[in-house]
Structure 1
Amino acid sequence: MNEFVAVIIFIIIFIIFNNLNTKIRKLEKEISDLNYKINNIPPAQTEVIHKKTSAEETFLPQQEQSQQIHHESRKYREENEKNSTPGQKDRLTPVFDFLKQNALTIIGIFTLVLGIGYFVKYAIDKNWIGEAARAGIGFCTGAGIIITAHFLRKNYQAFSSIITGGGVAVLYFTATIAFREYHLFTQNTAFIITVLITAASIILSYYYKSEVLIIFSLIGGFAAPLMISTGQSNYLFLFIYITLLNTGMLAASFLQHWKSVGWTAYIFTTGYLLSWTHKSPELLNITFYLISYAIFYIFALNDYFKRNILSTSDILILALANFSSILGLLYIFDTLKYEPPIIFPLIFTAVNSVLLFREYKRKDSGVAYSVFAGLVTSLITIAVAIQFKTHLITSIWAIETTLLLFIWKKTGQKIFKIFFYILFPLVMIAQLVTWTDYFETKDLNIIFNPPFITSSFTIVSIIINLYLLRNFSKEPNGKESNFFEDLITVISYGVIYITFLLEITYHVSEMPWSAVTSTGLLFSIYYIFVLLLFRKLLNIRNDIQNILMYLFFFLIAINTSVSTLPVVTAILTKTLHLSFYFLHLLQWIPFIYVWYRIIPSSAFHKQQVSYWMLSLALIISVSCEFHHAYILMTSNDLPHSYKASEHFNILYLPIIWTILASIFIYTGLKKNIQEYNKIGFALVGLMVLKLYGYDVWQMDNISRISAFIVLGIILLLSSFTFQRLKNMIRNMVDKKDKKEESTD
Structure 2
Amino acid sequence: MEGFLFLIILVLLVIILSKNSSHNKDIKSSIEDINEKLNQLKKSLSSPENITARPTVDVKPTPKVEPVIIKPVEQKPIIIEPKPIVADAISKPIAVPKPVHITEPIKPKTPVIPQKSWFETFKEKNPDLEKFIGENLINKIGILILVLGISFFVKYAIDKNWINEYARVGIGILCGSLVMGIAHKLKKNYAAFSSVMVAGAISIFYFTIAIAFHEYQLFNQTVAFIIMVVITAFSVLISVAYNRQELAVLSLIGGFAVPFMVSTGSGNYMVLFTYIAILNIGILAISYFKKWKVVTILSFIFTTLLFFSWVVKELFSNTLPHAGALAFATLFYFIFNITIVLNNLRNKGTFSIIEYGILIANTFFFFGIGLTIIHDWELQIKGVFTLSLALYNLVYAIILYKKFGLDKNSIYLLIGLTLTFVTLTIPIQFKGNYITVFWAAEAVLLFWLSQKSKINGFKYGAIAVQGLSIISLMIDWVQAYDMYNEPSLQLILNPIFITGIVVLTALIATYFIIKKETVNFKVLGFDLDLSLYKNLLLIAAVGIGYLVGILEIIYQSNQYISNQASALSFAITYHFIFSAALVFFGLKNKSNRFKKFVLLLALVNIALYCVIFYRLSSNEMAVNYNLQLTYNYAFLFHYIILACMVYFGICLLNHAKEKPVFGFLQSKVALWLFAMTLVYVFSNEVIIHSLKLAPQLVDVTQLETNYPAKNVNDVYYDDYNRTSFISDEFNDVKRQVIKIGYPILWGILSFIFLIIGIKKQWKQLRIISLSLLGITIVKLFAYDINNVSETGKIIAFILLGVLVLVISFVYQKIKKLVVEEDVDHSKNPDTHV
Q: Into which bin does the TM-score normalised by the smaller protein fall?
A: 0.5 to 0.7
Deviation at 1:484, TM superposition (A): 7.9
Which of structures 1 and 2 has the bigger CA Rg?
Answer: 2
Select the residue among 481, 488, 495 that pairs with 1:443: 488
Q: Which residue of 2 is the match for residue 396 of structure 1?
A: 438
Q: Which residue of 1 is the match for residue 550 of structure 2?
A: 501
Q: Which residue of 2 is the match for residue 709 of structure 1?
A: 798
Q: Which residue of 2 is the match for residue 301 of structure 1?
A: 398
Secondary structure in 2 aligned to 1:576?
coil
2:753 and 2:765 in contact (8 A); partners too? yes
> Quick one: distance in 2 between partners of 1:675 and 1:268?
77
> What letter matches 2:797 in structure 1?
F
Deviations 1:276-333 (A, max 9, x none): 666666476677556534431133224541488994663564365257347537964x
Q: Which residue of 1 is the match for residue 807 of structure 2?
A: 718
Q: Which residue of 2 is the match for residue 426 of structure 1?
A: 468
> Quick one: distance in 2 between partners of 1:176 and 1:548?
75
2:426 and 2:435 in contact (8 A); partners too? no
Q: Which segment drifts farther, 537-546 or 437-446?
A: 537-546
> What letter matches 1:570 in structure 2?
V
> Quick one: distance in 2 between partners of 1:105 and 1:177?
39
With the length of structure 1 as denominator, give the TM-score of the two structures.
Answer: 0.61
Q: 1:185 to 1:584 in 2, by over 3 A?
A: same
Unaligned regions of 5+ residues in structure 1, if any? 1-60, 107-131, 336-389, 738-744
The higher relative CO (CA closer than 8 Å, separation ≥ 6) is in: 1
2:284 and 2:339 in contact (8 A); partners too? no
> What letter matches 1:397 in structure 2?
W
1:289 and 1:329 in contact (8 A); partners too? no
Deviation at 1:614, TM superposition (A): 4.9
> Quick one: distance in 2 between partners of 1:718 and 1:69?
84
> Quick one: distance in 2 between partners of 1:76 and 1:495?
50
Select the residue among 661, 681, 688 that pairs with 1:628: 688
Aligned runs of 1:264-413 on 2, under 5 Å?
264-272=361-369, 282=379, 288-289=385-386, 291-302=388-399, 304-306=401-403, 311=408, 314=411, 317-318=414-415, 321=418, 324-325=421-422, 328=425, 332=429, 391-406=433-448
> Quick one: distance in 2 between partners of 1:665 and 1:164?
103
Secondary structure in 1 aligned to 2:806?
helix
Q: Which residue of 2 is the match for residue 607 of structure 1?
A: 664
Determine whether 1:547 maps to 2:547. no
1:179 and 1:187 in contact (8 A); partners too? no
Select the residue among 244, 260, 266 that pairs with 2:331: 244
Q: 1:228 to 1:480 in 2, by over 3 A?
A: closer
Deviations 1:431-461 (A, max 9, x none): 1221121212433221111111111111112
Secondary structure in 1 aligned to 2:785?
helix
Secondary structure in 2 aligned to 1:431?
helix
Q: Which residue of 2 is the match for residue 513 of structure 1?
A: 564
With the length of structure 2 as denominator, give the TM-score of the two structures.
Answer: 0.55
Deviation at 1:565, TM superposition (A): 2.1
Secondary structure in 2 aligned to 1:509?
helix
2:397 and 2:414 in contact (8 A); partners too? yes
Aligned runs of 1:6-155 on 2, under 5 Å?
78-79=102-103, 100=115
1:662 and 1:680 in contact (8 A); partners too? yes
Q: Which residue of 1 is the match for residue 576 of structure 2?
A: 525
Q: Which residue of 2 is the match for residue 353 of structure 1?
A: none
Deviation at 1:663, TM superposition (A): 3.3
Q: Which residue of 1 is the match for residue 616 of structure 2?
A: 563
> What letter matches 1:295 in structure 2?
Y
Select the residue among 253, 278, 301 that pairs with 2:341: 253
> Quick one: distance in 1 between partners of 2:647 and 2:262?
79
> Quick one: distance in 2 between partners of 1:544 and 1:179?
77
Deviation at 1:236, TM superposition (A): 2.9
> What letter matches 1:394 in structure 2?
T
Unaligned regions of 5+ residues in structure 2, if any? 1-81, 122-205, 212-227, 699-725, 827-833
Secondary structure in 1 aligned to 2:323?
helix
> What letter matches 1:513 in structure 2?
Q
Number of residue pairs matched? 568
Q: 1:503 to 1:607 in 2, by over 3 A?
A: same
> Quick one: distance in 2 between partners of 1:222 and 1:331?
24
Secondary structure in 2 aligned to 1:301?
helix
Identical-pair percentage: 17
Q: 1:104 to 1:633 in 2, by over 3 A?
A: farther
Q: 1:623 to 1:70 in 2, by over 3 A?
A: closer
Deviation at 1:525, TM superposition (A): 0.9
Deviation at 1:647, TM superposition (A): 0.5
> Quick one: distance in 2 between partners of 1:256 and 1:493?
48
Deviation at 1:662, TM superposition (A): 3.9
1:525 and 1:555 in contact (8 A); partners too? no
Deviations 1:94-142 (A, max 9, x none): 7xx79x4578999xxxxxxxxxxxxxxxxxxxxxxxxx99xx99xx9xx
Deviation at 1:520, TM superposition (A): 1.6
> Quick one: distance in 2 between partners of 1:286 and 1:706?
80
Cα RMSD (Å) of the superposition?
Answer: 5.5
Q: Which residue of 2 is the match for residue 596 of structure 1?
A: 650
> Quick one: distance in 1 between partners of 2:375 and 2:434?
14
Deviation at 1:630, TM superposition (A): 0.8
> What letter matches 1:459 in structure 2?
L
1:612 and 1:679 in contact (8 A); partners too? yes
> What letter matches 2:694 in structure 1?
T
Q: Which residue of 2 is the match for residue 206 of structure 1?
A: 288
1:599 and 1:605 in contact (8 A); partners too? no
Determine whether 1:583 maps to 2:637. yes
Deviation at 1:429, TM superposition (A): 2.9
Q: 1:445 to 1:68 in 2, by over 3 A?
A: closer
Deviation at 1:405, TM superposition (A): 4.7
Q: Which residue of 2 is the match for residue 646 of structure 1?
A: 735
Q: 1:531 to 1:81 in 2, by over 3 A?
A: farther
> What letter matches 1:305 in structure 2?
K
> What letter matches 1:629 in structure 2?
H
> What letter matches 2:623 in structure 1?
A
Q: 1:479 to 1:427 in 2, by over 3 A?
A: closer
> What letter matches 1:653 in structure 2?
Y
Deviations 1:450-493 (A, max 9, x none): 11111111111222345567767995899988988766654543
Q: Which residue of 2 is the match for residue 656 of structure 1?
A: 745
Q: Which residue of 2 is the match for residue 227 of structure 1?
A: 309
Deviations 1:248-269 (A, max 9, x none): 3135415514662554444344
Secondary structure in 2 aligned to 1:225?
helix
> Quick one: distance in 1 between partners of 2:120 and 2:509?
49
